[in-house]
Amino acid sequence: MIFESDSLVVLETKIRTCELCALADTRKNAVPGSGNDDSKIMFIGEGPGHHENEKGLPFVGAAGKLLDELLQGIDLRREDVYITNIVKCRPPQNRDPKPEEIEFCNAYLERQIDLIDPKVIVTLGRFSMARWFPGARISDIHGVPKRFGLRIVVPMFHPAAALHNPKWRPMLHDDFSRLPGFIAKMNAEDEDNNGPQMVPEQLNLF
Protein backbone atom coordinates (compact mmCIF):
# COMPACT_ATOMS: atom_id res chain seq x y z
CA MET A 1 0.00 0.00 0.00
CA ILE A 2 1.21 3.49 -0.88
CA PHE A 3 0.74 6.39 1.53
CA GLU A 4 0.88 10.14 0.94
CA SER A 5 3.65 10.32 3.53
CA ASP A 6 5.90 7.93 1.59
CA SER A 7 9.20 9.52 0.55
CA LEU A 8 10.86 8.64 -2.74
CA VAL A 9 13.29 6.35 -0.87
CA VAL A 10 10.42 4.52 0.84
CA LEU A 11 8.55 4.29 -2.45
CA GLU A 12 11.55 2.82 -4.26
CA THR A 13 11.93 0.21 -1.52
CA LYS A 14 8.29 -0.77 -1.95
CA ILE A 15 8.75 -1.05 -5.71
CA ARG A 16 11.81 -3.27 -5.34
CA THR A 17 9.85 -5.71 -3.16
CA CYS A 18 6.51 -5.39 -4.96
CA GLU A 19 4.57 -8.60 -5.67
CA LEU A 20 1.31 -7.12 -6.95
CA CYS A 21 1.46 -8.84 -10.33
CA ALA A 22 3.01 -11.85 -12.03
CA LEU A 23 6.00 -9.83 -13.27
CA ALA A 24 7.43 -10.23 -9.77
CA ASP A 25 7.82 -13.96 -10.49
CA THR A 26 10.03 -13.48 -13.55
CA ARG A 27 12.06 -10.36 -12.74
CA LYS A 28 15.57 -10.31 -11.39
CA ASN A 29 15.37 -6.70 -10.22
CA ALA A 30 12.53 -4.24 -10.13
CA VAL A 31 13.50 -0.84 -11.56
CA PRO A 32 11.95 2.06 -9.61
CA GLY A 33 13.77 4.86 -11.43
CA SER A 34 16.80 7.08 -10.89
CA GLY A 35 18.03 10.63 -11.08
CA ASN A 36 17.39 14.02 -9.54
CA ASP A 37 14.40 13.92 -7.20
CA ASP A 38 14.02 17.70 -7.58
CA SER A 39 14.23 17.78 -11.36
CA LYS A 40 12.10 20.04 -13.51
CA ILE A 41 11.91 17.32 -16.16
CA MET A 42 10.88 13.68 -15.87
CA PHE A 43 11.23 10.97 -18.53
CA ILE A 44 8.83 8.03 -18.51
CA GLY A 45 9.57 5.01 -20.66
CA GLU A 46 7.66 1.77 -21.13
CA GLY A 47 9.40 -0.90 -19.05
CA PRO A 48 12.78 -2.39 -18.13
CA GLY A 49 14.63 -4.52 -20.66
CA HIS A 50 17.29 -7.17 -20.19
CA HIS A 51 20.07 -4.87 -19.00
CA GLU A 52 17.76 -2.89 -16.75
CA ASN A 53 16.49 -6.11 -15.18
CA GLU A 54 20.08 -7.16 -14.49
CA LYS A 55 21.19 -3.86 -12.93
CA GLY A 56 17.98 -2.51 -11.41
CA LEU A 57 18.44 0.83 -13.18
CA PRO A 58 16.47 2.40 -16.07
CA PHE A 59 17.86 2.89 -19.58
CA VAL A 60 21.26 1.25 -19.21
CA GLY A 61 21.35 -0.63 -22.53
CA ALA A 62 21.72 0.66 -26.09
CA ALA A 63 18.60 2.82 -25.77
CA GLY A 64 20.09 4.32 -22.63
CA LYS A 65 23.25 5.30 -24.49
CA LEU A 66 21.15 7.12 -27.06
CA LEU A 67 19.19 8.80 -24.26
CA ASP A 68 22.50 9.99 -22.77
CA GLU A 69 23.45 11.40 -26.18
CA LEU A 70 20.12 13.19 -26.48
CA LEU A 71 20.49 14.68 -23.01
CA GLN A 72 24.04 15.83 -23.74
CA GLY A 73 22.71 17.57 -26.83
CA ILE A 74 20.68 19.90 -24.59
CA ASP A 75 23.38 20.25 -21.91
CA LEU A 76 21.78 17.84 -19.45
CA ARG A 77 23.07 14.74 -17.68
CA ARG A 78 21.24 11.87 -16.05
CA GLU A 79 21.98 13.51 -12.72
CA ASP A 80 19.89 16.50 -13.82
CA VAL A 81 16.70 14.59 -14.69
CA TYR A 82 14.55 11.79 -13.29
CA ILE A 83 13.96 8.66 -15.38
CA THR A 84 11.43 5.90 -14.76
CA ASN A 85 9.00 3.61 -16.62
CA ILE A 86 5.29 2.87 -16.80
CA VAL A 87 5.94 -0.65 -15.45
CA LYS A 88 8.74 -1.27 -13.00
CA CYS A 89 9.55 -4.92 -13.83
CA ARG A 90 10.66 -6.43 -17.11
CA PRO A 91 7.92 -8.20 -19.08
CA PRO A 92 9.22 -11.64 -20.18
CA GLN A 93 11.00 -11.61 -23.55
CA ASN A 94 10.48 -7.84 -23.63
CA ARG A 95 6.85 -8.30 -24.63
CA ASP A 96 4.45 -5.35 -24.37
CA PRO A 97 3.22 -4.64 -20.84
CA LYS A 98 -0.31 -5.85 -20.21
CA PRO A 99 -3.05 -3.39 -19.15
CA GLU A 100 -3.32 -4.96 -15.71
CA GLU A 101 0.45 -4.67 -15.20
CA ILE A 102 0.32 -0.99 -16.10
CA GLU A 103 -2.60 -0.53 -13.73
CA PHE A 104 -0.80 -2.21 -10.82
CA CYS A 105 2.19 0.12 -11.31
CA ASN A 106 0.09 3.24 -11.77
CA ALA A 107 -0.03 4.16 -8.08
CA TYR A 108 3.77 4.03 -7.92
CA LEU A 109 4.05 6.32 -10.94
CA GLU A 110 1.47 8.74 -9.56
CA ARG A 111 3.38 9.04 -6.31
CA GLN A 112 6.68 9.54 -8.15
CA ILE A 113 5.16 12.39 -10.14
CA ASP A 114 3.73 13.94 -6.97
CA LEU A 115 7.06 13.76 -5.15
CA ILE A 116 9.27 15.01 -7.98
CA ASP A 117 6.68 17.50 -9.24
CA PRO A 118 8.30 18.14 -12.65
CA LYS A 119 7.28 21.02 -14.85
CA VAL A 120 7.77 18.89 -17.98
CA ILE A 121 7.06 15.18 -18.42
CA VAL A 122 8.47 13.47 -21.51
CA THR A 123 6.86 10.18 -22.49
CA LEU A 124 9.16 7.80 -24.37
CA GLY A 125 7.18 5.32 -26.43
CA ARG A 126 3.54 4.56 -27.05
CA PHE A 127 2.62 2.97 -23.72
CA SER A 128 3.66 5.91 -21.58
CA MET A 129 2.21 8.25 -24.21
CA ALA A 130 -1.17 6.47 -23.99
CA ARG A 131 -1.47 7.41 -20.32
CA TRP A 132 -2.00 11.06 -21.33
CA PHE A 133 -2.92 10.70 -25.00
CA PRO A 134 -5.19 7.62 -25.30
CA GLY A 135 -5.85 6.62 -28.88
CA ALA A 136 -3.23 8.98 -30.36
CA ARG A 137 -0.54 7.95 -32.83
CA ILE A 138 2.96 8.88 -31.77
CA SER A 139 3.92 9.62 -35.37
CA ASP A 140 1.22 12.33 -35.40
CA ILE A 141 1.88 14.08 -32.09
CA HIS A 142 5.55 13.51 -31.23
CA GLY A 143 7.27 16.60 -29.90
CA VAL A 144 4.01 18.54 -29.42
CA PRO A 145 3.49 19.54 -25.77
CA LYS A 146 0.11 19.65 -24.11
CA ARG A 147 -0.87 21.21 -20.82
CA PHE A 148 -2.18 18.99 -18.04
CA GLY A 149 -2.87 21.01 -14.93
CA LEU A 150 0.36 22.59 -13.66
CA ARG A 151 2.71 20.82 -16.07
CA ILE A 152 3.11 19.93 -19.71
CA VAL A 153 3.53 16.49 -21.25
CA VAL A 154 5.62 15.99 -24.38
CA PRO A 155 5.22 12.67 -26.26
CA MET A 156 8.31 11.34 -28.03
CA PHE A 157 9.55 8.23 -29.77
CA HIS A 158 11.28 5.71 -27.55
CA PRO A 159 15.07 5.72 -28.11
CA ALA A 160 14.91 1.98 -28.89
CA ALA A 161 12.48 2.72 -31.72
CA ALA A 162 14.92 5.26 -33.15
CA LEU A 163 17.66 2.63 -33.03
CA HIS A 164 15.49 0.18 -34.97
CA ASN A 165 14.22 2.84 -37.39
CA PRO A 166 17.04 5.31 -38.14
CA LYS A 167 14.66 7.68 -39.93
CA TRP A 168 13.16 8.59 -36.55
CA ARG A 169 16.48 9.50 -34.97
CA PRO A 170 16.69 13.04 -36.43
CA MET A 171 13.09 13.66 -35.30
CA LEU A 172 13.99 12.55 -31.79
CA HIS A 173 16.98 14.89 -31.71
CA ASP A 174 14.79 17.73 -32.97
CA ASP A 175 12.10 17.04 -30.36
CA PHE A 176 14.72 17.01 -27.60
CA SER A 177 16.17 20.30 -28.82
CA ARG A 178 12.89 22.03 -27.91
CA LEU A 179 12.82 20.85 -24.30
CA PRO A 180 14.96 23.68 -22.82
CA GLY A 181 12.53 26.17 -24.32
CA PHE A 182 9.56 24.42 -22.75
CA ILE A 183 11.22 24.41 -19.34
CA ALA A 184 12.15 28.09 -19.68
CA LYS A 185 8.57 28.96 -20.61
CA MET A 186 7.19 27.14 -17.57
CA ASN A 187 9.74 28.85 -15.30
CA ALA A 188 8.86 32.25 -16.74
CA GLU A 189 5.17 31.53 -16.20
CA ASP A 190 5.81 30.83 -12.52
CA GLU A 191 7.74 34.08 -12.15
CA ASP A 192 5.09 36.14 -13.97
CA ASN A 193 2.32 34.66 -11.84
CA ASN A 194 4.25 34.70 -8.55
CA GLY A 195 3.98 30.93 -8.36
CA PRO A 196 2.19 28.06 -10.10
CA GLN A 197 -1.30 28.81 -11.36
CA MET A 198 -3.92 26.18 -12.10
CA VAL A 199 -5.05 26.17 -15.72
CA PRO A 200 -7.71 24.14 -17.50
CA GLU A 201 -6.57 20.58 -18.05
CA GLN A 202 -5.35 19.72 -21.54
CA LEU A 203 -5.20 23.36 -22.62
CA ASN A 204 -2.47 23.57 -25.25
CA LEU A 205 -0.62 26.89 -24.95
CA PHE A 206 2.43 26.09 -27.08
pLDDT of 122-167, one tens digit each?
999 999 999 999 999 999 999 999 999 989 999 999 999 999 999 9
User: Residue 44: its pLDDT value, please?
Assistant: 98
Residue 1, class by beta-carbon neighbours within 10 Å (0-12 exposed, 13-18 middle, 19+ buried)? exposed
Percent of the chain with pLDDT over 70: 93
Kindly give, in sequence order, each residue whose CB lies less than 8 Å from that of residue 162, ignoring residues fewer than 6 positions away: 66, 168, 169, 171, 172
pLDDT per residue as tens digits for the range 76-130: 999 999 999 999 999 999 999 999 999 999 999 999 999 999 999 999 999 999 9
CATH number at residue 156: 3.40.470.10
Q: Is the pLDDT assigned to residue 204 strictly greater than 80?
A: no
- Do 76 and 40 form a contact (C-beta atoms < 8 A)? no
CA distance 22 to 202: 34
Residue 65 belongs to domain spanning:
8-192
Residue 2 inside a domain? The answer is no
Given a cut of 90, whether residue 19 has pLDDT beyond it is yes
pLDDT of residue 205: 43
Tell me whether residue 147 is in a domain. Answer: yes
Split into its structural domains, the chain has a count of 1
Exposed (0-12), middle (13-18) or buried (19+): which is 148, by Cβ within 10 Å? middle
Summarize pLDDT for 57-67 with one digit per residue, the tens: 999 999 999 99
